[in-house]
Amino acid sequence: MDDPKSSPRRLRPKKTPPKPAASESPDLSSADISALDLFCNDLNYEEISFESWQKTLDDLDLVVPLWVSPELASRGGENVVRFHRNVRKSHKSAGTREPVSYAFTLPVATQKGDIFVYSAQGDRLADKAGDLIIIIRFK
């Protein structure tokens, strides 16, 4: 009996997908075309590279050290970190600083230098939000 790993596979001919039935395109009225042109003229977009987009999001990340006693870190429990985050409506606006109290559970046996990341809790820019990165420090 042939070893299935060494035997050649049988290739099947590629099937061509069936051609879709010719459908009539809907006739657009001149009012529809005008509305569509008006909509398209109001659209603005900016072409940026992936690296630029990623850097913009990374700049929104907020790193906050949390100073705890070794005893609290070892037993864990509820904790609150207080910080200010920047909130801007656009790249050009100055923005405001917003005070935030973020409650989270410190896991049992937390070590010095442990990092906790909470997505979309950092600085804000329009509809984007960076991550909140909490780094554990011992007093």
* 84 in any annotated domain: yes
End-to-end CA distance of the chain: 70
* 73 in any annotated domain: yes
Given a cut of 60, is residue 1 above it in pLDDT? no
* 104 in any annotated domain: yes
CA atoms in the 13 A half-sphere facing the CB of 120: 3
For residue 73, name the pLDDT band (cuts at 50, 70, 90).
Answer: very high
For residue 36, name the pLDDT band (cuts at 50, 70, 90).
Answer: confident
| pLDDT value at residue 125 | 85
Q: How many structural domains compose the chain?
A: 1
Residue 115's domain comprises 62-138
Asked whether 92 and 129 are in contact (CB, 8 A), the reply is no
| Residue 92, SS3 per DSSP | coil
